[in-house]
Amino acid sequence: MRVGLHALGIGDGARPEVIRAVARAAETHGFARLWCGEHVVLVDAPASRYPYSVDGRIAVPADADWLDPLLALTFAAAVTSRIELATGVLLLPEHNPIVVAKQAATLDVLSAGRFSLGVGVGWSAEEFAALGVPFASRGRRAEEYLAAMRTIWAEDPASFTGEFTRFDAIRVNPKPLRGGRLPVVVGGNRDAALRRAATLADGWYGFNVPAADVPARIAVLADECARHGRAFDELTVAVALSDGTPEHLPALGAAGVTELVVVGAPPSAPEAAAIWVAEIAQTWIRPEEQSGQSGPQPTFTPTRRPQTRGD
């Protein structure tokens, strides 16, 4: 099973020297992909419920540095040569799809075809309000934007007419390197996200999922594929666990997971961040090296609060 690392762009992970250290160490130690998420806006006292924690609260403080994921991954691409890159996830309905299509293709070209665009619909009504985007239509908007972007990537000139966007005979270049197609991963743990992954995307990214719940979520994804005439094995399945140890890897693989994504916040010092990556690799990529050790194996989850201004 591939192992990815979701550790860039927030708090200490937003500092260029830490991004450089983490990205290079991840490539050296065999991680398959670097993931970077997005929020354009955070608020101090959100009324919206965060869907990826038991208490409904996001662990990242509102005053934390949070980089734009496409720019952060472009920086990571410049200091690496092999490791893949993915947004995990970009909140597509908050953006102009023509601009995102161009930015994503640009990153794909600059990274020599290493980029996958992970997208989601978002959960924060406050964020959508601040950006002037209707919250209620975000699902339909994301689906239409994705269709428009695929048209832009594949056609030149490109034309599209939809409910939220339309353009006629426009040229948007560069194109993605893989035959006018960029891999798209849909994030989100609910049934609607699994349906979008099965019908519109090349993969699914489940975030902060309990290990025991993974098989059931993948079963829903497989059912959606069957319902819409899609072969399940056409999809990549990436999962970040809210719990678990390397002993879960065989069961995850049997359930259909193709990439286990380790989520964490790196230390503030670049040298310590590189060591931190190496320790994660020893635990998750090469667990057999620890087979002779007694006691429970460590887990790496986002429990470390990102360093923020004023801390």
pLDDT in tens, 109-165: 999 999 999 999 999 999 999 999 999 999 999 999 999 999 999 999 999 999 999
Nearest partner of 146 among 75, 89, 219, judged by Cα:
89
C-alpha–C-alpha distance, residues 83 and 88, integer Å: 15
C-alpha–C-alpha distance, residues 236 and 185, integer Å: 8
pLDDT at residue 33 greater than cutoff 50: yes
C-alpha–C-alpha distance, residues 51 and 131, integer Å: 21
C-alpha count within 13 angstroms, C-beta hemisphere, residue 24: 13
Task: Pinpoint the alpha helices (H) of the chain.
Answer: 16-28, 69-78, 97-110, 125-131, 138-154, 191-200, 214-227, 249-255, 270-284
Cα distances from 61 to residues 10, 56, 289, in angstroms, run: 10, 14, 36
Q: What angle do CA 52, 53, 59 make, to 5 degrees?
A: 100
C-alpha–C-alpha distance, residues 222 and 232, integer Å: 6
pLDDT at residue 309 greater than cutoff 90: no
C-alpha–C-alpha distance, residues 254 and 251, integer Å: 5
Nearest partner of 13 among 257, 270, 188, judged by Cα:
270
What's phi and psi for 203, nearest 5 deg?
-175, 170
C-alpha–C-alpha distance, residues 307 and 250, integer Å: 35
What's phi and psi for 207, nearest 5 deg?
-115, 130
pLDDT at residue 296 greater than cutoff 70: no
Could you read off the pLDDT of 40-81 as tens digits, one per residue? 999 999 999 999 999 999 999 999 999 999 999 999 999 999
